[in-house]
Amino acid sequence: MLTNDLLLRAARGEEVERIPVWLMRQAGRILPEYKTVRSSVNGFKELVKNPELICEVTIQPVDILGVDAAIIFSDILVIPEAMGLNYEMIESKGPFFPKTIENKNDVLQLTEDVVPNLQYVFESIRLTKSTLNNRVPLIGFAGAPWTIFSYMIEGKGSKTFSQAKKMLYTDPVLSHSLLDKITSATIAYLKEQVKSGADILQVFDSWAGVLSKAQYVEFALPYMQKITTAITEVPVILFAKDAHYILGEFAQTNCAVIGLDWTIEPEKARKETAGKVLQGNLDPCVLYAGKETIKKETEKMLRSFGEQKYICNLGHGVYPDVDFEKAKYFIEVVQQYR
Amino acid sequence: MLTNDLLLRAARGEEVERIPVWLMRQAGRILPEYKTVRSSVNGFKELVKNPELICEVTIQPVDILGVDAAIIFSDILVIPEAMGLNYEMIESKGPFFPKTIENKNDVLQLTEDVVPNLQYVFESIRLTKSTLNNRVPLIGFAGAPWTIFSYMIEGKGSKTFSQAKKMLYTDPVLSHSLLDKITSATIAYLKEQVKSGADILQVFDSWAGVLSKAQYVEFALPYMQKITTAITEVPVILFAKDAHYILGEFAQTNCAVIGLDWTIEPEKARKETAGKVLQGNLDPCVLYAGKETIKKETEKMLRSFGEQKYICNLGHGVYPDVDFEKAKYFIEVVQQYR
């Protein structure tokens, strides 16, 4: 029923007549129209809880950039909040949790029953889905259990997430019980996103890269497997930034698509992922360059991945200071590629 | 003439009777004796320019932790400063450059003739070498050209170093001219360290991981090759954090040793490095754990690397909040391993 279902067909491994393309963080940040909406509200969290405004900023990049999918505007940290751990978004610094998880009792006090607390997300999805009027697919998303765990322990962003990793080494039992709880909440959250209208889902493991492979296999992968096993309704994209060592294991899960950061060579990814659909992975900094360089780098990447079993994207969220005209040009290059 | 020359023999690929071990950032941070010295001076930079104190803090870990090498206490940012770009070290924030490199004229004003400006380092090395009295080898070091470049453009630490990368994409000619100049300065600096008494050298590419492989091959690798070709006097260790894709290329340089971060599996590293000596790579967070876990994780790593062509270390600098007794225990586990 979608006018443009390229993304869904590519995600299912079906043949497509051209490569679909969208941008991580396409909703927000770089668009002047987003900045207008953002400055009309009192803080980021007010925006995240306003379905009308979410609908507006989610559809903006479809109208302005011409991307082949919309991704619901939200934040991965709505899950810890819905579980009972409140966060603040501090301007130009990032998230901050006044209270963090320190012991078994803290974990016990969290709820897995997050759906009632996340109605504003589901309402946003319903409204956006109907407003989109089937022009393009709508992507839902959540943070990966390890990434959510790392914020709940560390309490804020970190270069090393050493406190979260300390918990893995010093109390693996507590760590697994928290990861389990986050996973149950996340599965319920994602399933309700699908019921509300999400056509495809992406799970973001933003801090995967601080873990060794052994730690990822013990504390992150099993929960990604649980999610991809539980979600059978729509395709699931797994994206674990900087976890270059895990592509082979992801290929063994029920995920439909594996997202790649820009440090992964397309040829290497193809070799290690046994026929899975791949997504990515242009260095976001290419969008700082002139049009000639953007075209050259993008087309080099497209040739390496090939036109099938592939969804074009950046290797990370678009950077805030990128000129949106450059992002738009990138989209055009992909859509005109033959 | 060294009483304990295990590190040098291992670095040259010679047979050793046990595995040598040292810690990146072993001088400073975790030692109470260091903190006493640090609090006696007015700021980090005053310490870095005081040969007597440098000698003292450089030898502390040899006495207290029992490591198989000393590494001269200094900072990779002494090079930009000696080239004419001053930096400040801001407490609990890190380095800050009041002026950054923006154009050709800025590059032209930098000097390659850094040796006269770095006499305090060479004096520190001479004093430390003689005070060490040949107990263990003394390691000298420098930042890799890409990492120094990234600070000179970005002006401070960054998660993405997007401004430095922007320069690579928008002005590759200027980028190469600056990288060339940094490389010449670095080679002169390292050669003078050797003349002053350094027995072996390590080049730290701390921000390698923000580059794609193509960018690393174009803007970082050629300068690492230049350095390893120029330094024939002593073994050179190359350590490019998070550049998981570059091991094969490093193996083709004249470096003696390749350092690994903890995201690289030992088996993978052995396969890709064609017989080079390897160094690393315990997750620094293991040192938060109890002794049982430290022993188990360390011995697992030693079994994977094997006892020859290997130097034991962490996969990154030891974290500041690690209990030095844990670091000491790690050293003991390695030295008692059979």
Residues A309-328: tens digit of each pLDDT: 999 999 999 999 999 999 99
Query: How close does chain A come to B92, measured CA to CA in Å?
Result: 13
Instruction: Kindly report whether the peptide bond that precedes residue B281 is cis, defined as omega within 30 degrees of 0.
Output: yes
Average pLDDT estimate for A205-223: 98
The pLDDT assigned to A91 comes to: 85
Which structural domains are found in chain B, ordered by start?
6-336 (3.20.20.210)
**Contacting residues of A for B245, CB less than 8 Å apart:** 244, 263-265, 268
Q: Which residue, A182, A180, A158, is CA-closest to A80? A: A182
**What are the tens digits of pLDDT across the range A2-58?**
999 999 999 999 999 999 999 999 998 899 999 999 999 999 999 999 999 999 999
The pLDDT assigned to B233 comes to: 98
Partners of A89 in the beta sheet? Answer: A95
Question: Does the structure show a pLDDT above 90 at A163?
Answer: yes
Instruction: Kindly report whether the peptide bond that precedes residue A281 is cis, defined as omega within 30 degrees of 0.
Output: yes
Q: In residues, how long is chain A?
A: 338
Question: Does the structure show a pLDDT above 90 at A157?
Answer: yes
**What are the tens digits of pLDDT across the range A299-309?**
999 999 999 99
How many CA atoms does the CB half-sphere of B268 hold within 13 Å?
15
Question: Does the structure show a pLDDT above 90 at A152?
Answer: yes
Question: Does the structure show a pLDDT above 90 at A186?
Answer: yes
- Residue B193, token pair as written in the block: 């360290």
The pLDDT assigned to B145 comes to: 98
Residues of chain A that touch chain B, judged by Cβ-Cβ distance less than 8 Å:
159-160, 162, 165-166, 168-170, 209, 211-213, 215, 242-245, 262-265, 268, 283-286, 288-290, 293, 315, 319, 321
The pLDDT assigned to B245 comes to: 98
A9 is catalytic: no
The pLDDT assigned to B338 comes to: 85
The pLDDT assigned to B92 comes to: 83
> Whole-number mean pLDDT of chain B?
97
Average pLDDT estimate for A258-265: 98
The pLDDT assigned to B95 comes to: 96
**What are the tens digits of pLDDT across the range B282-304?**
999 999 999 999 999 999 999 99
**Secondary structure, 3-state, chain B:** CCCCCHHHHHHCCCCCCCCCECCCCCCCCCCHHHHHHHHHCCCHHHHHCCHHHHHHHHHHHHHHCCCCCEECCCCCCHHHHHHCCCCEEECCCEEECCCCCCCHHHHHCCCCCCHHHHHHHHHHHHHHHHHHCCCCCEEEEEECHHHHHHHHHHCECCCCCHHHHHHHHHCHHHHHHHHHHHHHHHHHHHHHHHHHCCCEEEEEECCHHHCCHHHHHHHCHHHHHHHHHHCCCCCEEEEECCCCCCHHHHHCCCCCEEECCCCCCHHHHHHHCCCCEEEEEECHHHHHCCHHHHHHHHHHHHHHHCCCCEEEEECCCCCCCCCHHHHHHHHHHHHHCC
- Candidate from A168, A209, A289 with C-beta closest to B263: A209
pLDDT band at B27 (very low <50, low <70, confident <90, very high): very high
pTM: 0.97
The ipTM is 0.96
**Contacting residues of A for B290, CB less than 8 Å apart:** 170
**What are the tens digits of pLDDT across the range A121-140?**
999 999 999 999 999 999 99
pLDDT band at A182 (very low <50, low <70, confident <90, very high): very high
